[in-house]
């Protein structure tokens, strides 16, 4: 009864906020960029809540249980790159240039900066085809928590939550997304603070808990994943051996893949276009930084320290206690160590985390189909693109739910890292060039975009063992799981291979082709270099 009341109140409040957003959404600008007049608190919390989802709390909390405190380097990158660099060096220029170009989506921003319709629909296709993987792992993270904590059927939890999110995104547009994000982000923030305090309280304080984790150095991680079977583990409070497969998986996929890939996330970049001046972005840095620190630091520390709790109570590591599924570590810990009332409240926090990220994912997939693919190819504008965006959201929800049924265990963190790496390989080189390099040409941007995306896809299919092995294409064609079997290549993330290719190709092709006209560049960069300008 208590759970039913809490969930009902939460859903009613979200429904009301979504209704307010629907009433305030009058045109395509409102639906896509919130009329460019979003309050800095709303924008920063929406950015943070979109960035930090059940993938971070459930997925990467489970990764921390498997890899230890080394994952805390990702907290540093999340704040320095994901907040400070993103807001100060990318956000301000994106906001002003996006306004100059009249861009309403990330692919449209790149397209108009380089005067290429191909860039818009090709980028939209990458988003619409690739992002369902990320959306589905967020759904999986939430469904696993509900399944483990409340003994609700996983499939039912998956479908119900997807439908709830889809309703307010379809009707409220990005205002519906951002208003509910701010509410959900606040709930997430206080829930994580309580959980972090609780685990240190249970384990006897900060010093005793961390020392107990250090003392587990001889307890090898559960061999639940390909990475965990590799050598290189040196303890729960230290980094793996430099250059070992264990180190490469932790650093290249989980730390660098997510830490760098955040800069090119379409659902985050579009947030910069929703504010009217740089003052809002300056104010958002502190709000976003504090939020991201609490959420990521809390999830990773709780995940790592759950090993101490389970070893003291069951003699097992956290992953062993969770049945070998990394995605069940945090839910299993909360169900075992926390009182039932907290499990209910934290379920609301996780529901908030999942809904905030899913809403942004569904919105950006819908706009990719409606604005970036349909409108660009058919050349229809206005209401037709919004209708197609809503159809795209429905399609994205259906695909995410289907993937949620068929994806394997321990997929949440891996799926997140893969998507972040794919976007970095495809978009980051031309995004940086768009903002900072006037000499970059349309041909260079197209070449970098295509080569980055194709190289990333090839490495996913043939070079990266975690994806190449289950897909089986490399094995069918060449008789081995990956094209290069020598260490460490099978554990090197696709982004590490594809991003340098995209950068080199973008630079070389731009230098070999005719530079853009000065008049066009002056329009793009008008007021962009004035850091204090409106």
CATH at residue 294: 1.20.1730.10
**Strands, DSSP E only, in 255-396?**
none
**Can you give the pLDDT at residue 534?**
42
Any domain includes 32? yes
**Can you give the pLDDT at residue 275?**
73
Any domain includes 519? no
Please tell me the total count of domains within the chain. 1
Any domain includes 219? yes
**Can you give the pLDDT at residue 236?**
86
> Measured between alpha carbons, how far is 69 from 248 in angstroms, rounded to an integer?
15
Any domain includes 308? yes
Any domain includes 445? no
Q: List per-block mean pLDDT (blocks of 10 residues) for the chain, which spans 534 residues.
A: 74 73 62 57 72 77 90 92 90 90 89 94 92 87 78 84 74 62 78 91 93 84 45 82 85 87 87 76 83 91 94 90 88 88 78 74 83 77 67 87 84 85 94 95 97 94 87 82 84 92 97 94 86 43
Q: What share of the chain is helix, strand, coil (3-state, %, to 5)?
A: 80, 0, 20
Instruction: Write phi, then psi, for 239 (nearest 5 degrees).
Output: -75, 150
**pTM of the entire structure?**
0.85
Q: Show the domain range for 33.
A: 2-425
Any domain includes 462? no
**Can you give the pLDDT at residue 32?**
52
**Can you give the pLDDT at residue 472?**
82
Any domain includes 159? yes
CB-CB contact of 58 with 141 (8 Å) = yes
Any domain includes 437? no
Instruction: Write phi, then psi, for 205 (nearest 5 degrees).
Output: 110, 170
**Can you give the pLDDT at residue 28?**
57
Structure tokens, 492: 């090197």
CB-CB contact of 135 with 115 (8 Å) = no
Q: Cα–Cα distances in Å, from 89 out to 281, 436, 444, 525?
A: 11, 10, 22, 14
């Amino acid at each position: 009864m208590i759970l039913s009341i809490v969930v009902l109140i939460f859903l009613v409040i979200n429904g009301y906020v979504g209704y307010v957003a629907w009433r305030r959404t009058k045109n395509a600008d409102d639906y896509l960029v919130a009329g460019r007049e979003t309050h800095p608190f709303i924008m920063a919390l929406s950015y943070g809540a979109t960035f930090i989802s059940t993938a971070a709390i459930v997925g990467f909390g489970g990764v921390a249980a498997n890899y230890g405190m080394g994952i805390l380097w990702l907290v540093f990158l999340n704040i320095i790159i994901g907040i400070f660099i993103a807001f100060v060096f990318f956000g301000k220029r994106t906001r002003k240039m996006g306004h100059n170009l009249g861009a309403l989506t990330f692919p449209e921003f790149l397209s108009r900066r380089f005067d290429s319709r191909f860039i818009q629909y090709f980028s939209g296709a990458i988003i619409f085809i690739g992002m369902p993987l990320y959306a589905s792992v967020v759904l999986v993270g939430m469904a696993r928590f509900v399944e483990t904590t409340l003994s609700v059927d996983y499939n039912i939890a998956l479908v119900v939550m997807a439908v709830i999110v889809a309703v307010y995104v379809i009707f409220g547009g990005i205002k519906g997304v951002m208003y509910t994000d701010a509410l959900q982000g606040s709930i997430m923030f206080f829930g994580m603070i309580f959980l972090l305090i609780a685990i240190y309280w249970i384990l006897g304080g900060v010093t005793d808990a961390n020392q107990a984790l250090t003392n587990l150095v001889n307890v090898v991680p559960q061999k639940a994943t390909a990475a965990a079977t590799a050598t290189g583990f040196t303890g729960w409070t230290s980094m793996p051996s430099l250059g070992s497969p264990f180190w490469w998986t932790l650093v290249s996929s989980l730390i660098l893949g997510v830490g760098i890939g955040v800069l090119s996330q379409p659902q985050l970049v579009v947030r910069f276009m929703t504010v009217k001046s740089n003052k809002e972005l300056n104010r958002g840095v502190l709000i976003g930084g504090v939020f991201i620190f609490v959420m990521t630091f809390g999830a990773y520390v709780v995940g790592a320290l759950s090993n101490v709790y389970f070893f003291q109570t069951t003699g097992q590591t956290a992953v062993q206690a969770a049945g070998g599924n990394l995605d069940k570590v945090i839910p299993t810990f909360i169900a075992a160590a926390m009182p039932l009332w907290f499990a209910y409240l934290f379920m609301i926090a996780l529901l908030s985390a999942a809904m905030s990220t899913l809403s942004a994912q569904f919105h950006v997939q819908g706009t990719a189909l409606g604005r970036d693919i349909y409108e660009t190819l058919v050349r229809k504008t206005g209401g037709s693109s919004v209708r197609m965006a809503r159809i795209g959201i429905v399609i994205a929800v259906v695909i995410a739910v289907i993937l949620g049924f068929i994806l394997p265990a321990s997929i949440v963190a891996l799926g997140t890292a893969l998507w972040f790496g794919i976007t970095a390989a495809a978009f980051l080189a031309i995004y940086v060039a768009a903002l900072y390099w006037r000499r970059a040409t349309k041909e260079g941007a197209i070449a970098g975009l295509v080569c980055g995306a194709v190289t990333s896809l090839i490495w996913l299919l043939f070079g990266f063992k975690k994806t190449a092995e289950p897909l089986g294409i490399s094995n069918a064609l060449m008789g081995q799981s990956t094209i290069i079997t020598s260490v460490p290549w099978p554990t090197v993330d696709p982004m590490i291979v594809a991003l340098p290719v995209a950068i080199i190709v973008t630079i070389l092709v731009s230098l070999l082709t005719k530079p853009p006209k000065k008049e066009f560049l002056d329009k793009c960069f008008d007021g962009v270099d004035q850091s204090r300008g409106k």
